[in-house]
């Protein structure tokens, strides 16, 4: 009898220890999560699963992405996106997987999900020249599906805790609304004149407000929104407008600045009116302008030409693909292709957004946001 009691006691201790370890594993799994929304600047492969003209699933895209041994992943750069790098800097154990991947199920969603899509915009009509893309409204629809899956996986209370306390929601969108909508060369000046810049930007802010409020209603609380960068300085715009090496195209940058001022006001409004929310502005415009102006002091050698592309003075017409010419020193180029930054640029930008001061990320940086 004494031996049976001893065996029973040992078994109880073993079970309790196992339960404790399971609890620890659960806590580790739920440390932080990253839910990524946006366009090709942060797409991690969603467009691989769409019949679309906006794809990066061919070499040499991804040539420096270590996790894939240099095979293309669908990221529109030579390596990691800015969202990947920010996740690493914040200690997230895995990259947020693309929502459309068949493997993004079960425990794979506990560290976050990426909904971003090349060609996407705030407006549903943006990017229609690519045939298919996931606009911001659809991305929020897809997050709603993930939200329900988290309830099923964790239970409602723990899912809410993960989303409200341990997750960062990042939104990088708006560039395509100008580049592949309002400023499209196929749109005539007469047609564009029917909608003033003020009216167009009003529609962007109105739609983005409803999208962000909807995310809040689905328990997003720590949200970082990137403003639109100096899109008049990308190789594509410089090439088609035939500007000089040290010049940028005026109108796209003017529109970006006008939109960015409205975005700052929108995020302040949401912080004042949505209890418990903290919306942070990532000032990508000024960050990129500083990089382009002082690229040599930041370790770069080329800030006008695309590393991978074809056509025109700045390799700025044809996107990166198997037939493109590619630079020898990818880390020396600010731009990977006619539209997107190189991994080296993404590393530079991510550090400021995670740990920078209020010139570049406000009212607090992402490391401070994560600790709230």
Please name every residue paired with 167 in a beta bridge, in sequence order, or none if there are none. Answer: 33
Render each residue's pLDDT in the chain as its tens digit; 372 residues.
444 444 444 343 333 433 333 333 344 445 789 999 999 999 999 999 999 999 999 999 999 999 889 899 999 999 999 999 999 999 998 999 999 999 999 999 999 999 999 999 999 999 999 999 999 999 999 999 999 999 999 999 999 999 999 999 999 999 999 999 999 876 545 455 578 999 999 999 999 999 999 999 999 999 999 999 999 999 999 999 999 999 999 999 999 999 999 999 999 999 999 999 999 999 999 999 999 999 999 999 999 999 999 888 899 988 999 999 999 999 999 999 999 999 999 999 999 999 999 999 999 999 999 999
Q: How far is CA 254 from the centre of its chain?
A: 23
* Tally of CB atoms within 10 A around 63: 19
Contacts of 344 (CB under 8 A, 6+ apart): 299, 300, 330, 331, 332, 333, 334
Alpha helices in 45-135 (DSSP H): 82-89
Tokens read off for 197? 């810049």
pTM: 0.90
Contacts of 167 (CB under 8 A, 6+ apart): 32, 33, 34, 35, 112, 220, 221, 222
Can you tell me the distance from the alpha carbon of 164 to that of 155, in angstroms, rounded to the nearest whole number? 14
Tokens read off for 124? 């549903």
Domains of the chain: 32-371 (3.40.50.1110)
Can you tell me the distance from the alpha carbon of 237 to that of 241, in angstroms, rounded to the nearest whole number? 6
Q: What is the dihedral of CA 69, 72, 75, 80, to 10 degrees?
A: 20
Can you tell me the distance from the alpha carbon of 264 to that of 41, in angstroms, rounded to the nearest whole number? 20
What is the set of active-site residues?
A: 40, 337, 340
């Amino acid at each position: 009898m004494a031996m049976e009691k001893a065996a029973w006691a040992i078994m109880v201790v073993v079970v309790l220890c196992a339960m404790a370890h399971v609890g620890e594993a659960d806590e580790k799994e739920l440390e932080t999560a990253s839910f990524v929304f946006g366009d090709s600047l942060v797409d991690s492969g969603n467009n691989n699963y769409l019949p679309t003209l906006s794809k990066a699933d061919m070499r040499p895209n991804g040539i420096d992405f270590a996790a894939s041994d240099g095979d293309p992943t669908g990221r529109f750069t030579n390596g990691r996106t800015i969202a990947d790098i920010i996740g690493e800097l914040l200690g997230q154990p895995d990259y947020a997987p693309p929502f459309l991947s068949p493997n993004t199920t079960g425990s794979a969603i506990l560290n976050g999900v990426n909904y971003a899509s090349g060609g996407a915009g705030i407006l549903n009509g943006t990017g229609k020249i690519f045939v298919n893309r996931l606009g911001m409204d659809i991305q929020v629809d897809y997050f709603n599906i993930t939200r329900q899956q988290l309830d099923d996986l964790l239970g409602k209370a723990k899912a809410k805790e993960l989303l409200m306390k341990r997750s960062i929601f990042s939104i990088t969108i708006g560039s395509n609304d100008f580049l592949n909508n309002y400023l499209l060369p196929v749109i005539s000046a007469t047609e564009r004149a029917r909608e003033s810049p003020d009216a167009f930007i009003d529609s962007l802010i109105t739609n983005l407000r409803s999208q962000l409020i909807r995310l809040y209603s689905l328990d997003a609380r720590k949200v970082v929104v990137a403003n639109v960068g100096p899109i008049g300085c990308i190789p594509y715009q410089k090439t088609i407008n035939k500007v000089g090496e040290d010049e940028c195209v005026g109108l796209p940058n003017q529109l970006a600045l006008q939109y960015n001022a409205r975005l700052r006001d929108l995020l302040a409004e949401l912080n004042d009116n949505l209890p418990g929310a903290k919306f942070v502005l990532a000032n990508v415009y000024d960050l990129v302008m500083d990089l382009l102006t002082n690229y040599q002091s930041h370790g770069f050698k080329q800030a006008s030409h695309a590393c991978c592309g074809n056509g025109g003075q700045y390799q700025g017409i044809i996107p990166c693909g198997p037939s493109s010419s590619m630079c020898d020193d990818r880390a020396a180029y600010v731009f990977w292709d006619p539209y997107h930054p190189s991994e080296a640029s993404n590393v530079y930008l991510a550090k400021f957004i995670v740990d920078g001061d209020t010139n570049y990320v406000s009212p607090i940086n992402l490391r401070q946001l994560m600790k709230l």
